[in-house]
Amino acid sequence: MVEPALIKAAQAGDREALVALLREIEHQVYRTAYYLLNNEQDALDASQDALIRIYTKIGSYEEKAQFRTWVQRIVTNICIDKFRRKKPSVSIEEHEMVFQAGDNVETEVLSAYAAEEIREAIGKLPEHHRTVVVLRYLQDFSYNEIADSLNLPLNTVKSYLFRARQQLQVLLHDYQKGGVRG
């Protein structure tokens, strides 16, 4: 949670407060961008764009909405714009798995596969469903905060989440049965 005093100082032109504010939110901004765009480089680009926009628009932030809702609206809009401009592509990345001494290797491997399956399933959702899932389950937004961030009616948010959960259940069906994707 960002301190209101830090936000006020940043709005008043305190450069150090603004830098501290951006550093405090940069991980959350990147995480949202990564799950929406499903690509590390695109997420880094979107995060940078979002942080620059926050930097330049901090003076326009009004306390009508929570600060994190305002930030998420900026990130989400940038990601949606990038998603619409870019044709879907497949990211080929090598991931290293590092195991701590004494950890249960089997559990670590299964957890890594589960996380990857879930991330891929979220990436297959339609844009509007993916956005509400990321905000709800990865950023822990309430339904009302999602509605405010995306400028949607509350019932639409609930409907999107319901449909997204149904789609995820279908996409993760093989995994839930202990099967392997083929």
Element (H, E) at 180: none
The answer to whether 135 and 149 are in contact (CB under 8 A) is: yes
pLDDT tens per residue across span 114-146: 677 888 888 889 989 999 998 888 888 899 989
Q: Which residues, at least 6 apart from 50, have a Cβ–Cβ distance to it below 8 Å?
A: 29, 33, 71, 74, 75, 78
> Is the Cα dihedral 179, 91, 165, 112 positive or negative?
positive
Residue type for position 126:
P
pLDDT tens per residue across span 49-68: 999 999 999 999 988 778 98
pLDDT tens per residue across span 71-119: 999 999 998 887 667 644 444 343 444 444 445 555 655 566 667 788 8
pLDDT above 90 (res 27): yes
The answer to whether 141 and 129 are in contact (CB under 8 A) is: no
pLDDT of residue 169: 87
